[in-house]
Amino acid sequence: MDDLRNSIRRFTEERDWEQFHSPKNLAMALSVEVAEIVEHFQWLTEEQSQNLPPEKLARVREEIGDVTIYLTELAEKLGIDLLEAAKAKLEINSKKYPASLVKGKAAKYTEYR
């Protein structure tokens, strides 16, 4: 993770792109890259989405790479540790959706969200 952060920083500095990478702009770029993942899945059935052909999987992997890059950069700009933020949020979600109440129920699940 440290490695990745350093590589991203170097990449951005070498291109003098820091000036474009405000948190506002990075949030936009993040949403654009996520849409490129969604694009691969939009006409597939859920089942097909579980069995991507190798070539498509390779392209989804690239989009997931881009999303991870922008997410890492945005978090760093805001002084947020990605993994810590995820763990803390999982704690919150665990209390918000107690297993005893929402277990296996799509309706409940949807409703609770």
| Interface of this chain with its own copies, residues 50 to 89, rule: CB under 8 A | 50, 52, 57, 60-62, 64-69, 71-72, 74-75, 77-78, 80, 82-83, 85-89
Show the binding pattern over residues 33-52: x = contacts its own copies (CB under 8 A), - = does not: -xxxxxxxxxxxxxx-xx-x
Interaction of residue 95 with its own copies, rule CB under 8 A: no
Least Å from the CB of residue 59 to its own copies: 11
Q: Is the dihedral of CA 47, 51, 55, 56 positive or negative?
A: positive
Indicate whether 6 belongs to the interface with its own copies (CB under 8 A): no
**Of 54, 59, 92, 95, which one interacts with its own copies (CB under 8 A)?**
92
Determine the residue type at 79.
Answer: G
Decide if 80 contacts 88 (C-beta within 8 A). Answer: no
41, two tokens: 């899945």
Length of the chain, in residues: 113
CB of 70 to its own copies, least distance (A): 10
E strand or H helix at 92, and its extent?
helix 82-96
Is 19 an interacting residue with respect to its own copies (CB under 8 A)? yes
Q: How many angstroms separate the Cα of 92 from the Cα of each of 54, 97, 98, 105, 110? A: 36, 9, 10, 20, 17
Q: Does 14 bind its own copies (CB under 8 A)?
A: yes
